[in-house]
Amino acid sequence: MENIAGYIATGLVSLFVGLVIQRFKDKPRLLYWLPGSFVFKLQDPKVTLRTDSLTIQNVGRQASSNIEIIHKARPDHFQFSQPVDFSEHTTPSGEHIIKIASLGPKEHVNIQLMSHRSVPILGNVRSAEGQAQLIQVRLQRVFPKLLTAFAGGFMLLGFGFFLYWSVLAILFLSKAMGIGVVS
């Protein structure tokens, strides 16, 4: 009976370790955000221009392959901010797909869209590895590195003080309750 318990424990520990390794395995992770759009109303000639921007970034540790940017219809005009090899095609239902072969770890692409006839409606962003995640972003001021290092140091110091006083409080309460630490 002791051997069976050992085998079961070994199996459970192996399963747990396998699941933990699987969870932290290197994999691609695509994020995308829409930093903003702007509408220009021109008087001569009478036309309305709309500009949009879409940024896609692989924040994972593996390359992401076959990235697809799917719009409900083909945008009037689009171009990438940096050189990137892409292909485009339209599905039988009329959706327009821009396909990028690969996006390396920590790499990003930005696509600029301009429309004057129809508003580009983003349907989906995905890759062969799965769905991209839409995240909310806002512009943020970038502070000098020295100031950021000081702020990080003060936060670390504050966390150290918090741990110190937490341990003292636990020791005080345990002593007051009669549990006390044996010396």
User: How far is Cα 93 from Cα 74, in angstroms, rounded to an integer?
Assistant: 12
What are the backbone angles phi and psi of residue 133, rounded to the nearest 5°?
-105, 125
User: How far is Cα 113 from Cα 95, in angstroms, rounded to an integer?
Assistant: 16
Sheet holding 96-103, edge to edge: 86-90, 96-103, 64-71, 122-127, 130-131
Is the pTM of the predicted complex or chain greater than 0.85? no
Bridge partners, 37 (sequence order): 52
Task: Please give the chain's pLDDT, 183 residues, in tens.
Answer: 567 877 888 888 999 888 888 877 888 889 998 888 888 888 878 888 999 999 999 999 899 999 999 999 999 999 998 899 999 999 999 999 999 999 999 999 999 999 988 888 999 999 999 999 999 988 888 999 999 999 999 999 999 999 999 999 998 988 888 876 555
